[in-house]
């Protein structure tokens, strides 16, 4: 049997293959990502806790407001339709 060889288009080197290009782009992306992450100003523990408490508090307040509006509209619609709830 004849020896199998890879058929590559003429003038195309291994460095220009789509896989090599994807690897180069991936490597460049990761290097840029690491560079940007080093520039980030990360919050202190106190800032992190304060932001978390504020977020949880606002979620509770908005939930209570929504529940109150739901109850109010339920009562109003019950009055309009003559039903009691």
Q: Residue ranges per domain, the chain? A: 13-41, 43-85
Q: pLDDT tens digit string along 33-83? A: 999 999 999 899 999 999 999 999 999 999 999 999 999 999 999 999 986
SS (H, E, C) the chain: CCCCCCCCCCCCCHHHCHHHHHHHHHHHHHHHHHHHHHHCCCCCHHHHHHHHHHHHHHHHHHHHHHHHHHHHHHHHHHHHHCCCC
Q: What is the pTM of this model?
A: 0.54
């Amino acid at each position: 049997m004849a020896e199998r060889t890879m058929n590559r288009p003429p003038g195309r080197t291994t460095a220009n293959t789509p896989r090599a290009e994807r690897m180069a782009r991936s490597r460049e992306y990761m290097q840029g990502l690491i560079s940007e992450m080093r520039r980030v100003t990360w919050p202190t523990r106190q800032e992190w806790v304060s932001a978390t408490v504020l977020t949880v508090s606002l979620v509770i307040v908005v939930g209570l407001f929504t529940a109150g509006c739901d109850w109010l509209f339920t009562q109003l619609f019950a009055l309009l339709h003559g039903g009691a709830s």
